[in-house]
């Protein structure tokens, strides 16, 4: 607060830039999915879709068919759409507590639009790198799901209460209202973390992490991007892209899968409603990030992108 008061003009611009980041990158990609998934769930369509993929999801994830529906929504909408749909399905008794725990890990992905368009196209200007990042990102989350699947859920599809379609009265209003509130909260979180990075950087809070990561990666620009990305993913990727290190793609892949504390906060806003512990979610995201890094490291060692 003191920094904002003393340097109000500078941080007011940073706040506006954070709002622009939300408005032009996050809002267009997640808001329609928030509305449509709320409608599908309330109308009972999700249950019918889930029934078609139950056998596959039980073998792959150790969860019922609803997890396949949630995974699809997470894969196309990006952060934090998967966390939101997981919480909604749990609240409607369409998934068990055990399944919600598992789903919180593998239903948390960055969107193809962001990876291919923003990262691969705009930031790296390398389409092949974008597809490599997307492939590694999805493969890693599937590997994480298999590792953390544990035993199969004791509850079967038939044992869960059937959620019947709701009346059309006010259904669209409720879906839009809930989605508007959700995206506004996300915008606030993104903006706060965006401004926090600039403030922390100004007071030298990233000095020691950057030195440590420079020793680890051997490149100051990559180290700076990694340090920033642990707080806010997009800012970190922009900074890391200034590097020419051979570890650039593995590091960007790590940041995309980890998401940064900004994405974690966005996701936990919803996952808390499903009583999912933050430590479990942090563990699954870290595992996802490490596997993504390993896949891209091996790929870049074999084929330069």
Model confidence pLDDT, tens digit, residues 169-194: 578 888 888 889 888 988 898 899 88
pLDDT at site 155: 42
Res 103 pLDDT > 90: yes
CA distances for 148 relative to 152, 268, 294, angstroms: 11, 19, 18
Give me the chain's average pLDDT, please: 86
Q: State the Cα–Cα distance between residues 92 and 73, nearest whole angstrom.
A: 17
More confidently predicted of 35 and 41: 35
Residue 163: band (very low, low, confident or very high) from pLDDT cuts 50, 70, 90: very low
Q: What percent of the chain has pLDDT over 90?
A: 44
Residue 161 has what DSSP assignment? P
Res 56 pLDDT > 50: yes
pLDDT at site 169: 59
| 155 burial type by CB count under 10 A (0-12 exposed, 13-18 middle, 19+ buried) | middle
Residue 156: band (very low, low, confident or very high) from pLDDT cuts 50, 70, 90: very low
Residue 167: band (very low, low, confident or very high) from pLDDT cuts 50, 70, 90: low
More confidently predicted of 26 and 5: 5
Res 119 pLDDT > 50: yes
Res 162 pLDDT > 50: no
Of 160, 143, 21, whose CA–CA distance to 99 is shortest?
A: 160
Q: Where do the H-state alpha helices sit in 93-170?
A: 97-106, 112, 127-147
Res 92 pLDDT > 70: yes
Of 155, 144, 72, whose CA–CA distance to 102 is shortest?
A: 144
Residue 22: band (very low, low, confident or very high) from pLDDT cuts 50, 70, 90: confident
pLDDT at site 143: 95
Residue 168: band (very low, low, confident or very high) from pLDDT cuts 50, 70, 90: low
pLDDT at site 59: 85
Q: Which two tokens stand for residue 241?
A: 């892209």
pTM of the full predicted structure? 0.83
| Residue burial 235-262, b: 16+ Cβ < 10 Å; e: rest | bbbbbbbebebebbbbbbbbbbbbbbbb
Res 87 pLDDT > 60: yes
| 181 burial type by CB count under 10 A (0-12 exposed, 13-18 middle, 19+ buried) | exposed
Task: Give CB contacts under 8 A, 24+ apart, made by 18-23.
Answer: 18/190, 18/191, 18/192, 18/193, 18/194, 18/195, 19/187, 19/191, 21/190, 21/191, 21/194, 21/234, 22/186, 22/187, 22/190, 22/191, 23/187
230-277 per-position pLDDT tens digit: 998 988 999 999 999 999 999 999 999 999 998 999 899 889 888 899
Tell me how far apart the terminal alpha carbons of the chain are, to the nearest angstrom.
Answer: 44
Taken as a whole, the chain contains a residue count of 305
Q: What percent of the chain has pLDDT over 70?
A: 93
Residue entry with tokens 């180290």: 223
Determine the average pLDDT of the residues in 275-290: 93
Q: CA angle, corner 103, sides to 229 and 260, nearest 5?
A: 10
């Amino acid at each position: 607060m003191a920094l904002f008061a003393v340097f109000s003009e500078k941080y007011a611009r940073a706040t506006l830039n954070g709002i622009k980041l939300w408005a032009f990158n996050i809002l267009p990609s997640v808001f329609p999915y928030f509305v449509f998934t709320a409608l599908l769930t309330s109308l009972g369509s999700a249950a019918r879709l889930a029934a078609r993929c139950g056998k596959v999801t039980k073998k792959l994830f150790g969860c019922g068919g609803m997890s396949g529906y949630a995974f699809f929504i997470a894969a196309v909408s990006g952060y934090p759409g998967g966390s939101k749909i997981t919480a909604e399905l749990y609240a409607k008794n369409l998934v068990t507590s055990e399944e919600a725990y598992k789903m919180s890990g593998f239903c948390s992905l960055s969107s193809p639009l962001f990876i291919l368009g923003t990262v691969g196209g705009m930031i790296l200007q390398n389409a092949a790198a974008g597809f490599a990042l997307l492939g590694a990102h999805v493969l890693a989350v599937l590997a994480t799901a298999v590792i953390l699947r544990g035993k199969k859920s004791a509850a079967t599809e038939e044992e869960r209460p059937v959620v019947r379609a709701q009346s059309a009265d006010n259904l669209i209003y409720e879906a839009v209202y809930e989605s508007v509130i959700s995206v506004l909260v996300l915008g606030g979180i993104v903006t706060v973390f965006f401004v926090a990075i600039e403030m922390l950087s100004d007071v030298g809070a990233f000095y020691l992490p950057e030195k440590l990561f420079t020793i680890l990666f051997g490149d100051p620009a990559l180290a700076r991007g990694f340090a920033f990305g642990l707080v806010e993913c997009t800012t970190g990727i922009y900074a890391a892209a200034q590097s020419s290190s051979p570890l650039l793609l593995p590091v960007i892949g790590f940041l995309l899968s980890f998401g940064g504390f900004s994405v974690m906060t966005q996701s936990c806003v919803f996952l808390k409603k499903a009583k999912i512990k933050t430590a479990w979610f942090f563990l699954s995201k870290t595992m996802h990030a490490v596997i993504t890094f390993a896949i891209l490291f091996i790929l870049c060692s074999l084929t330069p992108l």
